[in-house]
Structures are given as C-alpha cells and as structure tokens.
Amino acid sequence: MSDTSPRQPRPWFREPFMWLVVGIPLLTVVAGLTTVMIAARHSDPVVSDEFRKEGLAIQHDPARDLAAARIGARAEATITANQITVAVTLAVGEPPGALVAVLSHATRAEFDRLVVLDRSADGHYQATFESLEAGRWYVELSPRDRSWRLRGDFTGLPSHLVLIPGSIR
C-alpha cells in the first residue's frame, strides 16, 4: 500500500524562492547604507581659494590679489611652531585693526588653521595657536572683511617670510 496522505508544506524560511525575493532588496539596502557611511567619512575637502565654476571650467578670481597690489600691501611674517607675528605696510590707507591668517598644510587639510591676529601697540599683529605639524605650509593674510590678501609659503620652523600680492609674483 502506498501512502496517499498530503505532504506537509515546508516552513517559509526553508523556501529558496522566498530568499531570492527578500534577499536581493535587503542586500541593496545594506549596500546603500554602507555607501552613505563611506561617503560621509571620507568626503573631499572644500576648495579654499577664490575659484568660480564657469561651464565645465574652473576660473581663478584674482580680485583680492589685485586689491592688495592697488593699496601697496606687503607684510613680513615670523612663524614659529605656535606663534605668528606680522608687520604690515600699506602704501595707501590705514592698516586694519585685525588680520586673519589662514595656515594651510600642503597635503593634510585636517592640520589647517584659521588664526585671528590682533594689532598690538607697536603696530605689529600677533597670535598664538596649537603647534604646527612638520611639512610645507601656505599662508594667506587678509583683513577681516577679506577685501585684499597677501600670500606666501614656508617649509620648516621657525620661518621668516615676505608676503606680497599673489598676482605680481
């Protein structure tokens, strides 16, 4: 005699087709969330100079460099591991009450510093900050209103450098 009793259905989690229907969308969600996490942790730094995008080209805007040349701006800076002292001369106009120095590491954006330099009684500008890492550094000096700027670079500390408008280098 043969057994003619109906066969018991398998539980849902033992069906291969069910894993195909549920598994692909589930893996897609996991891959999407992983992509978002990677993008958030490893984002590219923002371009810190005066650039604008025109069509598919990126153009440098020299307006602040030209403004510094028009007023005859020049500065001498002494930079140590944790201090900057600047003497500014202007051919036209009065020196500003404070300056902003952007110290940018050539290869490591996380080391960059934004420092406000206050004017002392002797006319020099000075500020202290956390110790700088070794390497090549770029310096941008401007008043708080960012109407003009002086630029330079250095490697090694202490450094003494002359900052002039970038467009006349």
Its pTM surpasses 0.85: no
Tell me the DSSP string of 101-128: EEEEESS-GGG-EEEEEEE-TTS-EEEE
99 contacts 140 by C-beta, under 8 angstroms: no
For every one of its 169 residues, what pLDDT tens digit does the chain have, with 9 covering 90 and above? 556 667 888 888 888 888 888 999 999 999 999 999 999 888 777 666 666 666 666 667 788 999 999 999 999 999 998 999 999 999 999 999 999 999 999 998 889 999 999 999 898 999 999 999 889 999 999 999 999 999 999 998 889 999 988 744 4
